[in-house]
Structure 1
Amino acid sequence: MKILQLFFHFFFSGTHIRSAKEGLNVNFQTSASAYRRILIGAAAALILAVSALSGCSSAPKEPISSSQFMLDTFVTVTLYDSEDEEILKNCFRKIKHYEDIFSTTIETSEVYRLNHRTADQTEFDLSDDTADLLAEAIRYSEVSDGDYDVTVEPLSSLWNFSGGRKDLPADGEIREAVSKVDYRNIRLEGNHLTFLSPDTTIDLGSIAKGYIADRLKDDLTAQGVGSAIINLGGNVLCIGQKGNDPFKIGLQKPFADRSETFAALRIKDQSVVSSGVYERNFFVDGKNYHHILNPKSGYPYDNGLINVTIVSDRSVDGDALSTTCFSMGLERGMELINRMDGVYGYFLTDDYVVHYTDGAKDLVEQVDLPEEKK
């Protein structure tokens, strides 16, 4: 799951409208069952305290917003130019539909069935959505030469950050899991998937929320919505802008309270997604072990990066690229983004310097760090 520390506060005509989603900071090391208990006790709290900062212009309508616990996180959809509650309800039906396809833990999902196939099952005809999403994941696996790998599932299951694991797997367990990870052991031709190894399993968690956000945007715009925020546990996709101004997205300072931001971005009809080392992590003997795993070593990446934030038109690209670029490291990651049109990257290194890809600084309203570097 992508970790985007964004903060949204809603301002209309200078008045702060506090949504009930604000006010609860949920620790990602909490178990999934604990999350559900939190949801029952405080259903409107927002897992990442994600918010939008707007300018001084007035919105034409009061926004409507709804939050639910789905995709193992809190998801929120806010409409700024529509009062149709049925549109919101349809969004969550759509999210549930995709969760039932892409989940690695729902036993009836398509991905679960692929991962739990019998030894003699090697070929499958996929649904259009799974084939489309898997094709994107394979493409980024190829672009990164396997530094990002869609078949990382044996490692992600072993480390089990989502389940709240706080101890190190044994070296032998890690080596065994690494031996099963190689995106070249799957072949996708159209909707036809072939597994070349019985040990290969897939994990679309690093890209699925971006894909779902894009599909929600398609549905909303088809229904005439021109101003909205889709927040899938921190994967944020803005539709249009708010009133006469872009949305302003604040990025949380690493290892700080979620109310502290290090940058604000002006976003119009774009997606913002981050990957970082300071959520879904634990410390052993003072060393930080986080959820962004190196498929080749089996351990979390330790490459001097703290956070990578990607702004893109398609959320599926931002979702995949934030992990891919983190995995590739500062130099290669920035080179990759600089070769892409309409995609911008913000790389925060462990000396708290922000490194900008070409054009990225144009979206920044402010940076509050000791140093900044282009």
Structure 2
Amino acid sequence: MNRFAGVVCFLMSWTLPLSDEAATLETPMVSISGEAQGTTYHIKYFDGQNRNFKVQIDSILTEFDKSLSNYRKDSEIAEFNKSSSLTFRLPYFYPVLKKSEEIFNATDGAFDPTIMPLVEAYGFGPKKKIDPENANVDSLLQLIGFQNIQFNKTSVSKKKPHIRLDFNGIAQGYSVDIIGHFLETKNINRFMVEIGGEVVCKGKKNDGQYWVAGIENPLVPGTLHSSIVLADRAMTTAGNYRNHFKKNGQVFNHIINPKTGSMEQSSVLSVTVIAKDAITADGYDTAFFVMGLDGIKRFLTKRKDIDVYVLYTNDEGKMEAFVTEGIKNFIKETAN
């Protein structure tokens, strides 16, 4: 379910005024890494018992894919997309539906997980289309609309037969939260969990400093643009410069406006969202990219629980940044 990785986490520090006492200096740090969801994961946590939970974490992520991966023919979401209804077997489908409904309503449909027909038409997702520029967008828009999904805590069904779901813009964030919750059940309360660029951090490192994450430079992929301190929060990034392809001179980007059916040109290069959990940040970063810079600013006048760091090009074609007040003191730019 990898869509865009614009975040890199580091065990690094830069000085901030911290009021809490430093954490215990001798607690062992455990580092785990692996592959999942078509991408990689990196997990670091402090555990006095020095336990390694890689086997359990890999098992959780495999079960997660069995519920929400469109790349598995046997997943719950694949089964739902081929049928008219589904009774949940695993505990992951309902929370993502519930959060999707919240963000769909809050953003007036800028985030809509019924976008699968458009995703496929433009050549993304598990099925590749040969001629995306000839996609019949007007016809496909009739198949888009989260209002055509009805669900409760045990099942989900369709109001229209050809509606299909794609949680690629939110599920990976939720998987980060799931792993964070697993660590908390093991009495681990200082950790960094990163899957495919989606991050959640809790507590401090042994030096008493909070975790620091890096934001990629969208104009020079693979290089660091900024670093940000994450104090018990989650961070995700959406951008238009990695997951794309060219055909007949036309560029097709993976972030699609579900209201118009198009991949509209935008001055926004990447949107990093910081929220209380990664499922919230992940869903909103997709919506914000569709909404554009002015739409983001208007939205955030009423939502002080969400912070953003937006990289965009100005009228002269130079990259600039917009950052909300809540994180200004926690951002350090490392590139011009």
What TM-score bracket applies, with the shorter chain setting the length? 0.7 to 0.9
Provide the residue aligned with 1:90 in structure 2: 56
Question: C-alpha distance in 2, partners of 1:338/1:230?
Answer: 30
Q: CA deviation at 1:144?
A: 1.8
Post-superposition Cα deviations, 1:195-242, rounded to whole Å, max 9, x if no partner, equal 111110001111111112112111101212122211111111112122
- 1:354 partner SS: strand
Q: CA deviation at 1:360?
A: 2.5
Provide the residue aligned with 1:53 in structure 2: 12
- 1:359 partner SS: helix
Query: Which of 158, 161, 164 is equivalent to 2:121?
Result: 158
Query: Which of 75, 78, 86 is equivalent to 1:124?
Result: 86
Provide the residue aligned with 1:73 in structure 2: 39
Structure 1 unaligned blocks of 5 or more: 9-50, 370-374
Q: CA deviation at 1:132?
A: 1.5
Provide the residue aligned with 1:46 in structure 2: none
Q: CA deviation at 1:176?
A: 3.4
Provide the residue aligned with 2:19 in structure 1: none
Question: C-alpha distance in 1, partners of 2:261/2:286?
Answer: 15
Answering whether residue 239 of structure 2 is matched by residue 248 of structure 1, we say no
CA 1:194–1:62: 2 relative to 1, 3 Å? same
Out of 231-240 and 294-303, give the one that drifted further: 294-303
CA 1:178–1:311: 2 relative to 1, 3 Å? same
Answering whether residue 79 of structure 2 is matched by residue 110 of structure 1, we say no
Asked whether the 8 Å contact 1:310–1:322 carries over to 2, the reply is yes
Question: C-alpha distance in 2, partners of 1:256/1:141?
Answer: 32
Query: Which of 243, 253, 267 is equivalent to 1:304?
Result: 267
Provide the residue aligned with 2:289 in structure 1: 326
CA 1:132–1:86: 2 relative to 1, 3 Å? same
- One-letter code of the match for 1:152? I
Q: Percent identity?
A: 19
Provide the residue aligned with 1:372 in structure 2: none
Structure 2 unaligned blocks of 5 or more: 16-21
- 1:302 partner SS: coil
Post-superposition Cα deviations, 1:154-195, rounded to whole Å, max 9, x if no partner, equal 111222335696975143444433331111111224434231
CA 1:168–1:65: 2 relative to 1, 3 Å? farther
- 1:347 partner SS: strand
Answering whether residue 180 of structure 2 is matched by residue 180 of structure 1, we say no
Q: CA deviation at 1:252?
A: 1.0
Provide the residue aligned with 1:12 in structure 2: none
Q: CA deviation at 1:287?
A: 5.3
Out of 161-170 and 229-238, give the one that drifted further: 161-170
Q: Number of aligned residue pairs: give it.
A: 322
TM-score (norm: length of structure 1) = 0.78
Answering whether residue 67 of structure 2 is matched by residue 101 of structure 1, we say yes
Q: CA RMSD in A?
A: 2.5
Question: C-alpha distance in 2, partners of 1:217/1:290?
Answer: 31
